[in-house]
Structure 1
Amino acid sequence: MSEDLLLTFRSPPLPFFVESNRITYRPGEEHPNRTNLGVFDLLFVNEGTLYVAEENYKWILKPGDVLILRPDRWHYSFRPCDEETIFDWVHFQTVGAWEETEDNQPGSILGDYYTYAIRLPKKMKLNYPDEAKLIFSQLHEAAKSSSHGAFWDRQQRFLHLLQMLDEGWRSDAAKAAVSVAERAAAYLKLNYRTSISNTMLSEVLDLHTNYITRCMSEVFGCTPQQYLLYYRLDQAKLLLIKTDWTIARVAEETGFRQTPHFSRLFASNTGMPPLKFRKRFTT
């Protein structure tokens, strides 16, 4: 269904604000007909009803509803407003990768240890519409200003808006594969120096081990233990480059209890033993 679509952006780079405004339509007026606008068009209804379509998808937007239209599709109104309608619009863009998928599918854009996958519902109803109205009002004011600081102000307020949409979706889909996988990953990254079993992870998340494993496999392409290993090895790489610690200490600091075991795993995954890796990047 059209309301189950999810837009995913890999960050960094972060999506960035272009322009915004608040519009009032009188009865009989309608949203403009546009093709390949070149920017994402985010709509938020304050009062009244908007009748908006994108290609073959159609939405009836009520107060509190948010809709994000793609930059590469045909947008149009399939029915004029039948009452006074007030809505906010925000144009934004990204220079990074993005995709649109069904929200029960992980898609191809995934976060990793250093990047984040921003996931925004194509359409959603905000739980805190009054907070959203304030954010939009502040964003419009910043957009009108030409001062040096206005650029930072509007970008920060726009990112606050994206964060609210991203977190709002996650709270509504707390058991979704993406949410479970990211909760598991966050715990693994926070505690990677200690021994973590699948049973321990299951108890922390209060979910069955098989379900956690399936979610992580769908979202990250690996099991929890594989994710933990990859993260530990990445941390080991950083320590080998940034410190002069012994290989034994690097192994211990990254959760490996036996140095020979660490060295074998490191060589197997990077193509060279730890000492050779260090020399390659520090000489």
Structure 2
Amino acid sequence: MQEDLLLTFRSPPLPFFIESNRRTYTAGQEHPNRSNIGVFDLLFVQEGSLYIAEENNKWTLKPGDVLILRPDRWHCSFKPCTEETTFDWVHFQTVGAWEETEGSHTGSLRGDYYTYAIRLPKKMHLSFPDEAKLIFSQLHEAASSSSHGAFWERQQRFLHLLQMLDEGWRSDAARAGVSVAERAAAYLKMNYRSVITNTMLSEALQLHTNYITRCMTEVFGCTPQQYLLYYRLDQAKLLLIKTDWTIAKIAEETGFRQTPHFSRLFAAQTGMPPLRFRKRFTN
């Protein structure tokens, strides 16, 4: 069960780096017992084996394995190292919303048009260990530096690490549902000015319409056509504020073929017609 745990961070705000280092245990040494340390603890094993428990869950970490421990749980070593073991650790935190879910359940945190759901498996094996080792080395170097630019460098290195973990997980076929939903959303946002039918979306993704709809409903909480409508209306709001275009032109630019239809949908979603919306934010 513990192999299927998934951590989701809604961003922005982005998770931020606190500290990191590399540690080597000799045979017989073990990870300390700690509880509610207040930060996420990311572990990456380079050599040997690390035996880590978080309350009732246990993991044996081998070279190339990554594990993320929660800030609000008790964790310890359930067995001393049996050989020399080298691992990297990174402490990070977020002030934004986050959650841990199990299995294929995507949870309540979803990305939308302007936010992103960073999803990281609690435990994963990296297929690119050499690249990971380099990133961790660069991160530790920036963490130990006191230069003026060190703060920015370590935050950038850390975000690169998160991106690598997030994208590596999303390429896993076992997590195809999230990938499908995000591919569909990207297609809709890229082509929202044009007519897009479910058939066209199905052909673009080479997947059945029902499967795409199920994936988007699970990840974004709406169907493809609902997502498209919401995105079009949000783009219309921006144009109403930023331009002096007519309502007809804005309707056309955001994919609506009839101005009265656009006005009705806009009023239903915002509680006011487009012209009143514009006056509210431009006077």
Q: TM-score scaled to structure 1, two decimals? A: 0.99
SS in 2 for 1:234: helix
Partner of 1:182: 182
Partner of 2:232: 232
Partner of 1:11: 11
Whether the aligned pair in 1 keeps the contact of 2:169 and 2:175 (CA below 8 Å) is no
SS in 1 for 2:127: coil
Return closer, same or farther for 1:175/1:10 CA change in 2, 3 Å cut-off: closer
Query: 1:151-162 maps to which residues of 2 (within 5 A)?
Result: 151-162=151-162
Q: Give the CA deviation at 1:179.
A: 1.4
Extract structure 1 runs of 4+ deviating beyond 6 A.
Answer: none
Deviations 1:162-200 (A, max 9, x none): 000000100013653221111111110111001100001
Return closer, same or farther for 1:179/1:57 CA change in 2, 3 Å cut-off: same
Structure 1: which 5+ residue stretches go unaligned? Answer: none
Partner of 1:108: 108
Whether the aligned pair in 2 keeps the contact of 1:21 and 1:89 (CA below 8 Å) is yes
Partner of 1:20: 20
Number of positions where the alignment pairs a residue of Structure 1 with one of Structure 2: 283
Structure 2: which 5+ residue stretches go unaligned? Answer: none
**Does 2:118 align with 1:122?**
no
SS in 2 for 1:225: helix
SS in 1 for 2:233: helix
Alignment root-mean-square deviation, CA: 0.8
Partner of 1:137: 137
Q: In 2, distance between residues paired with 1:113 and 1:103?
A: 25
**Does 2:188 align with 1:193?**
no
SS in 2 for 1:134: helix
Partner of 2:276: 276
Q: Percent of aligned pairs with the same residue?
A: 85
Q: In 2, distance between residues paired with 1:143 and 1:271?
A: 50
Q: In 2, distance between residues paired with 1:204 and 1:10?
A: 28
Partner of 2:209: 209
Return closer, same or farther for 1:105/1:166 CA change in 2, 3 Å cut-off: same
Whether the aligned pair in 2 keeps the contact of 1:174 and 1:180 (CA below 8 Å) is no
